[in-house]
Structure 1
Amino acid sequence: MSAGRVRSVVIAGGGTAGWMAAALLSRRLAPLGIAITLVESTTIGTVGVGEATTPAIRDFFAEAGLDEAEVMRASNATAKLGILFDGWTGEDSGFFHPFGLYGSPSNGVDFHQYWSKLHAGGNRTTLDRYSLASQLALSGRMMTPLRPAPDYGFFDWAVHFDAALFAHHLREVAEARGVTRVDARINRVERCGETGRLLSLHTDTGAQISGDLFIDCTGFRALLAGETLGEPYDDWRTLLPVDRAVAIPCAYREGAAPIEPYTRVTARAAGWQWRIPLRHRIGNGYVYASSHLSDDEAAATLRATLEGEAFAEPNLLRFTTGRRQRVWVSNCVALGLAAGFLEPLESTSITLIYSGLQRLLALFPDDGMNPALADEYNRITRLEYERVRDFLILHYWANRRSEPFWAERRATPLPDGLARKIRLFAARGRMVRMEWETFADPSWLAIFVGLGIMPEAWDPLADSFTSQQIESAFGRITRDVAKLAASAPTHRAWLAARLGDSAG
């Protein structure tokens, strides 16, 4: 090993973020012989974020060298094809955000431009009819994506899983690869008096764990980046004011109920409620603004909507939406909740953990910790968090509900980038792709149209075809999508076949 190379990485904290870091780094850094130590205490609970994910989780499985089916079995996972939104534009309203494409572009013109033209002419066929992911999900079916596939047949999928079981599985994998786990509380962090760099963690068992690079996975406390290094936190509650969540897992109703391959998010008086179907239980939670609803009222509302026996007492979580101004400070990189928090409306918590790890590997330092690497890491992280934040703001701003909480959301001043996106889409369906966006154009299209933001005009090039020609082509697409969806097994049967055991 050459002089100046990082020789040891210390991960402070376990949970989802800590063990994702341990599993991925132990594989990617193996050729360098870098020692990896994770310090966590079994006496400290974890938040357990990320029961729902985006398709990026399956990229993480592959990069970390994990067997997808094995992970799913170990964490009681199910497939996720997207998110069903209930009640966001009023009672009894709904739309689906799929992980996939809509229709097919033609002659260099996006599919939604032709769809806008037909819609303006009175054709009310909904977008989800042109999405295989949507049709599979809404019919309770699942299939392995076709490769290659026609555009209208292209989709991806994510997973729902038990976050605690997922972290436990990653721990087993990481320890088998040589990661050292220290079960202890960190009671002191030692820094260099001259440089301010972190030198070691001291624990309540008397251990001293030294390292060259430290990863802060200590959750909201942010022991290293926040408490020790004093990095400020940008509070975004003026833009996203929900600051509480209460969670209660429950049983499925009696009988062989279907396992829906999607997350459901239902608008409530002061926020929204999630429903995440796992193989052994249903995850439920109410995310809300404490300025509009008390904790007791939120818990009572959630209890009243459970479809089966509650498996635990309400678990209350308090949070502040935002991020650290710098995530990489000195020789410390914050990850997960220590880096920032964006509510789980679009299931981005684990995606942000994974992208943070990818960025760290791409900019991996030597023991000199060149500040140019940290500057670039922080620049990208800032943009990524802001892009996700703006996507979430759109969900609230475009609502059509009557309660005071929702009326306030419509009055929220929009960040400039989001306002520009909305203006251009509303003008002519123009999509704007910004640097370090987590969500691609089909996702923005799903939310725009689902919340009632329609273009005033369409791309003039869509007039290369008559409305009759477009309707004929669209008819073929809807028939092909419906046929493919109908040929797929139920989600429960797909799980049983893929995982080799019963699903439920």
Structure 2
Amino acid sequence: MVQVSAETGAGRSGDPIRSVVIVGGGTAGWMTAALMAKRLEGLGVAITLVESSSIGTIGVGEATTPAIRDYFREAGLDEAAVMRASHATIKLGIAFDGWAGEGSRFFHPFGLYGTPSNGVAFHQYWLKLRAGGDLRPIDDYCLATQLAYADRFLPPPRPAPDYAFFDWAVHFDAGLYARYLAEVAMARGVRHVDARVRAVTRDPQSGHIAAIDTEEAGAIRGDLFVDCSGFRSLLLGQALGEPFIDWTDLLPCDRAAAIPCAHAPGGGFEPYTRSTALAAGWQWRIPLQHRVGNGYVYASRHISDDEAVATLIGRLEGEALAEPNLIRFTAGHRRQFWSGNCVAIGLSAGFLEPLESTSITLIHSGIERLLQLFPDRHFDPALAADYNRISTLEYERVRDFLLLHYWGNKRANEPLWQGCRDTPLPDKLAHKIRMFTSRGRMVRYEWDSFQDPSWLSLFAGLGLLPERWDPLADFFTPDQISGAFDRIREKIAEGVASASTHRDYAAAHFAAASQGNSRA
């Protein structure tokens, strides 16, 4: 445990922040440092990042959502340069294998389905045709999904009809990505201190953090402290004692085993993440240019660590490139994300398992929110209160989206999955499901990270479909709808045919200079 002592001293009300101390490196720390250095440029704010090279990072946050490319732009990064440096590949979405029963597959794309007409959503017409016997999957009406299945990519057309509108994210080597960001941040003036934190000093009057005491560099003072120390949560959790809200009753997995491996001989790298349901959890597969990331996320009460590792090793497509990395976690978040003059970003703030690649998205949104509510040394409590309100909502919305995957599963004769189907749902998620299964009505809440197409992909993929459709869809006859649907599929097929293979596109635009195996 980090020791806490008391020290006097406080800034005057209204004084601008002059120093920011980031505790912890890795993805969260260096993303924070690089973006802050860009946005606070010219304001006279000194930024120091303290991390210990003797303490490892989790390093398995290798899949992202399209928001990562917003981060690249906001942080002033060259997208192609980041992708080359991190041996990245393109991600068009996630394929879910076995979640709707053995042998099943559905796809969550970063794109839209079909085209609305006459003020009625596309999926309402799809539901109408389905009731009439046309059982083509909704996947057929999304260009991003079809490109992914064909291992192809083309730049998203702009402007584009809805069925051709999509975005894309990236897979990258998390260790190489953090290393690249560190170089960028330090070139922008961020001071890097390689030291281990041994104590935290607090102001006895305000309770704010006054300084961190390190073994190698002594005391490091600051106005604002950003906790990026990972699961240890050295500042917010340990020093400030902020309690943790545990969501294990809703999200049952509490362990992960991760092993990188070589690509299969002659294999390529698909432009999507794969999530495969297994007896005690699920396996991720993330193809990079130089290797494949693999992990088994599981519930420890249904399988031992040794069994989980053996299962994962048995499913690797190529030679293992590192020893298994075992990770223990608890789903949930700190009650407050911002307390006094300390804001937690990343794992120190909370953790939601990597099922939908939201960890880095939550890092980005946390940094953005801090910059939007950036305090002075008075630290008006209203700023922290709004930060905490929004962050809590965001985590709850993501939690509910993840929970739908588990609750809606169709796997048979497996205790974990049966227990998930029996899980009592939070009220807002239950209402969202009830409205869709009643008549295909989509419900949106404040700070929903995932929009209607994402929810639709899950509802359709898991077979959570209504028997009725919007009566306004009856404006068109089944024959008229079928004709329009035929044309959409034809246009999508033309788009896929005109696209490059993912491998060829990567080679032309962001191939890594060296593709030797990385163990980062």
The structure 1 residue matched to 2:297, chosen from 282, 287, 304, is 287
Q: How far is 1:95 from its partner?
A: 0.5
Q: Which residue of 2 aligns with 1:263?
A: 273
Name the CA shift for 1:503/1:455 in 2 (closer, same or farther; >3 Å): farther
1:377 lines up with 2:387 in the alignment: yes
Q: Is the 8 A contact 1:496 1:503 kept in 2?
A: no
Deviations 1:424-469 (A, max 9, x none): 0000100001000100000000001100100121111101100100
CA RMSD of the aligned region, Å? 1.1
Name the CA shift for 1:469/1:502 in 2 (closer, same or farther; >3 Å): farther
Q: Which residue of 2 aligns with 1:364?
A: 374
Q: Which residue of 1 aligns with 2:203?
A: 192
Question: Helix, strand or coil: the match of 1:452?
Answer: coil
Q: How far is 1:151 from its partner?
A: 1.1
The structure 2 residue matched to 1:486, chosen from 488, 491, 497, is 497
Q: Is the 8 A contact 2:85 2:512 kept in 1?
A: no
Residue identity matched to 2:161: P
Q: Which residue of 2 aligns with 1:386?
A: 396
1:395 lines up with 2:380 in the alignment: no
Identity of aligned residues (%): 66
Q: How far is 1:173 from its partner?
A: 0.1
Q: Which residue of 2 aligns with 1:327?
A: 337
Q: How far is 1:206 from its partner?
A: 4.1
Question: Helix, strand or coil: the match of 1:61?
Answer: helix
Mind listing any 5+ residue stretches in structure 2 that lack a counterpart?
A: 1-12, 516-520
Structure 1 residues 448-457 or 204-213, which shifts more? 204-213
| 1:27-426 alignment runs, 5 A limit | 27-255=38-266, 257-402=267-412, 403-426=414-437
Provide the C-alpha distance between the structure 1 equivalents of 2:330 and 2:510, rounded to a whole number of angstroms: 38
Q: Provide TM-score, normalisation by structure 2.
A: 0.95
Question: Helix, strand or coil: the match of 1:267?
Answer: strand
Q: Is the 8 A contact 1:493 1:503 kept in 2?
A: no
Q: How far is 1:228 from its partner?
A: 0.3
Q: Which residue of 2 aligns with 1:474?
A: 485
Provide the C-alpha distance between the structure 2 equivalents of 1:94 and 1:220, rounded to a whole number of angstroms: 33
1:8 lines up with 2:19 in the alignment: yes
Name the CA shift for 1:500/1:206 in 2 (closer, same or farther; >3 Å): closer
Mind listing any 5+ residue stretches in structure 1 that lack a counterpart?
A: none
Question: Helix, strand or coil: the match of 2:282?
Answer: strand
**Which runs of at least 4 in structure 1 moved beyond 4 Å after TM superposition?**
500-504
Provide the C-alpha distance between the structure 2 equivalents of 1:393 and 1:503, rounded to a whole number of angstroms: 39
Q: How far is 1:312 from its partner?
A: 0.8
Q: Is the 8 A contact 2:289 2:512 kept in 1?
A: no
Provide the C-alpha distance between the structure 2 equivalents of 1:206 and 1:393, rounded to a whole number of angstroms: 44
Q: Is the 8 A contact 1:142 1:490 kept in 2?
A: yes
Deviations 1:43-79 (A, max 9, x none): 0000114200000000000000000000000000000
Q: Is the 8 A contact 2:87 2:511 kept in 1?
A: no
Provide the C-alpha distance between the structure 1 equivalents of 2:101 and 2:155, rounded to a whole number of angstroms: 34
Provide the C-alpha distance between the structure 1 equivalents of 2:507 and 2:389, rounded to a whole number of angstroms: 44
Residue identity matched to 2:187: A
- Length, aligned pairs only: 502
Residue identity matched to 1:170: L
Q: How far is 1:386 from its partner?
A: 0.3
Name the CA shift for 1:480/1:502 in 2 (closer, same or farther; >3 Å): farther
Q: How far is 1:31 from its partner?
A: 2.6
Q: How far is 1:503 from its partner?
A: 9.4
Deviations 1:299-328 (A, max 9, x none): 000000001000011110000000000000
Residue identity matched to 1:484: G
Provide the C-alpha distance between the structure 2 equivalents of 1:206 and 1:8, rounded to a whole number of angstroms: 17
Q: How far is 1:207 from its partner?
A: 2.1
Q: Is the 8 A contact 2:84 2:513 kept in 1?
A: no
The structure 1 residue matched to 2:453, chosen from 434, 442, 454, is 442
Deviations 1:248-299 (A, max 9, x none): 10001112x2210000000000000000000000000000000000000000
Provide the C-alpha distance between the structure 2 equivalents of 1:118 and 1:8, rounded to a whole number of angstroms: 61
Q: Is the 8 A contact 2:28 2:346 kept in 1?
A: yes
Question: Helix, strand or coil: the match of 1:249?
Answer: strand
Q: Is the 8 A contact 1:384 1:437 kept in 2?
A: yes
Question: Helix, strand or coil: the match of 1:265?
Answer: strand
Q: Is the 8 A contact 1:101 1:153 kept in 2?
A: yes
Q: How far is 1:500 from its partner?
A: 5.5
Provide the C-alpha distance between the structure 2 equivalents of 1:42 and 1:259, rounded to a whole number of angstroms: 32
Question: Helix, strand or coil: the match of 2:152?
Answer: coil
Residue identity matched to 2:343: V
Question: Helix, strand or coil: the match of 1:226?
Answer: helix
Q: Is the 8 A contact 1:49 1:349 kept in 2?
A: no
Provide the C-alpha distance between the structure 1 equivalents of 2:507 and 2:454, rounded to a whole number of angstroms: 29
Provide the C-alpha distance between the structure 2 equivalents of 1:400 and 1:302, rounded to a whole number of angstroms: 22
Q: Is the 8 A contact 2:209 2:225 kept in 1?
A: yes
Q: How far is 1:501 from its partner?
A: 6.1
Provide the C-alpha distance between the structure 2 equivalents of 1:440 and 1:372, rounded to a whole number of angstroms: 29
Provide the C-alpha distance between the structure 1 equivalents of 2:133 and 2:126, rounded to a whole number of angstroms: 11
Question: Helix, strand or coil: the match of 2:260?
Answer: coil
Provide the C-alpha distance between the structure 2 equivalents of 1:158 and 1:206, rounded to a whole number of angstroms: 39
